Amino acid sequence: MANLKLAVTYLLLHAANVLGLISCIYVIFSHPQPLQAGLFVYDIFWVFFTPVMVSVAKSFDAPIKLLFPTADSARPFSMLGLGDIVIPGIFVALALRFDVSRGKDSQYFKSAFLGYGAGLVLTIIVMNWFQAAQPALLYIVPAVIGFLAAHCIWNGEVKPLLEFDESKTANSSQESSDANDSKKVE
């Protein structure tokens, strides 16, 4: 219990973590371009095939990562890069927008979010098992896409999700809102 309190206190009070979380939230909700496939490959390459990503993350003290205390004295902290939050977060946010656009409780957001959680847990397990840095997107991206895909296939709604265009939804809801406002004026 004391370790949990220490971890929560560290996470909340460490300035770089707070700035990093704020940056993630801003990017997720202001830039909805999903770049998961390219960054998935990018993350794997730079973590497994070069020492660059790990050395930069360890040596650069700026809000580019979240640090979590561990019980291992040889490795006192685990790191999670902000890209590992933002990139899948964009996809999860788009699932939420799809749910909202449909105007019903289809819960694709919950599937994508559950996939993110499962991918993150898998990342932590593999990282601790091998005692080595892991490209978190290697586990998170397939989990997020897999959970959402399974939900769509189960509901038989693959086509509406693939054809979803937020700009058309935003324009049509704005037009209907404008039409309602003009009816009130008359």
Q: Spot the catalytic one: 43, 61, 72, 165.
A: 43
Report the pLDDT value the prediction gives residue 33, as an integer from 0 to 100.
47
Q: Catalytic site residue 84? A: yes
Collapsed DSSP state (helix, strand, coil) of residue 186: coil
- 72 annotated active-site: no
List the beta bridge partners of residue 81: 65
pLDDT of the chain along its 186 residues, tens only?
A: 666 666 666 655 565 566 666 666 665 555 444 456 666 777 778 788 878 777 877 777 766 777 777 777 777 777 888 888 888 888 888 888 888 888 777 789 999 999 999 999 898 888 878 877 788 889 998 999 899 999 989 988 888 887 877 777 655 555 555 555 555 555
Distant-in-sequence, close-in-space partners of 85: CB < 8 Å, separation ≥ 6: 21, 24, 66
Enter the pTM of the model.
Answer: 0.66
pLDDT at 162: 78
Give pLDDT, residue 119.
94
**Candidates 61, 84, 165, 178; catalytic one:** 84
Closest CA to 138 of 157, 130, 68: 130
